[in-house]
Amino acid sequence: MDTTIILSVGSFLAILAALVLLRARSTRFEVKPADIVVAVVPVVLFLLVTGKLQKVEIGEGGVKIEAAFVKASEQLIDPQVTPLTGVPAEPVRLDPKEAVSKIPQLIERRTEGLLFRLGHGGYWGPAIEEYFAALTRQPFFKYLIIEHSDGRFFGIVDARALGELLRNPNAPYRADDLARWLNQTDTKVLTRLPGFVAAADAVSTGTDKFQALQRMEALGVERLPAVDEAQRFVGMVERSRLTASLLIDVTKSLQK
């Protein structure tokens, strides 16, 4: 039997058993239809997202979960897009004249990402190195966002993993290399940075929840960048938030 199916059945039984035990503490030991629905919803959601299940119907003329899942999965992801905190509205200038003066402000604003623009021409390796040395010590700093010269989103990088590489004397590249690639718009090399997610893999605010979850599953990631109609970066979408919102929507539909 498929491992996914085995895990799903095991999860269903575990959830149902936990619900029954909780109910038994306050009332007599019994399994109610509501317990079955609550236990089966997260399992069915997992099977649908992983493509193992296309349709679910329980009982003849009884509870139909399919319609609830379809309705919930077709909702747009816009409400689940989380803008990053403290990201400058304009790309950070990391040239010799403005090397480290903005670091305290970025830390005070709990900046989650730095924004860089391809072809800027003024990025300076030592300044980049100092920025990463200071910001990667902060738990809230996570991303390096790269955009094209016209502001369109190019890709996003795992800033913490990149910071570790820049501190490693045996790393295949240094901060000076990163500055040169950004200044010269060397897009081929930039796509090899750790945790890179390209614009082609980003989701738009008009993507529905099911499509976003499918893309995350295909890429093997827990979060994806989101762009607006103009292809500008607007924030991140996390699998956990999408899954939670789907569960809430489905449960509400089944309770009606």
Q: Which long-range contacts (CB under 8 A, 24 or more apart) does 46-55 make?
A: 46/8, 46/11, 47/4, 47/5, 47/8, 48/73, 48/210, 49/210, 49/213, 49/214, 49/217, 49/243, 50/4, 50/217, 51/214, 51/217, 52/2, 52/4, 52/5, 52/8
Indicate if the pLDDT at residue 194 is higher than 70.
yes
In this prediction, residue 183 carries a pLDDT of 94
Indicate if the pLDDT at residue 2 is higher than 60.
no
CB under 8 Å to 96, separation ≥6 — which residues?
Answer: 124, 127
In this prediction, residue 90 carries a pLDDT of 59
In this prediction, residue 93 carries a pLDDT of 57
Q: What is the pLDDT of residues 203-253, one digit of tens each?
A: 888 888 788 888 888 888 888 999 988 999 988 888 888 777 777 766 666
Q: What is the pLDDT of residues 100-135, one digit of tens each?
A: 678 888 888 888 888 899 998 888 898 899 889 999
Predicted TM-score (pTM) of this structure? 0.70
Residue bearing the bigger pLDDT, 210 or 155 = 155
Q: What is the pLDDT of residues 17-31, one digit of tens each?
A: 554 555 555 555 444
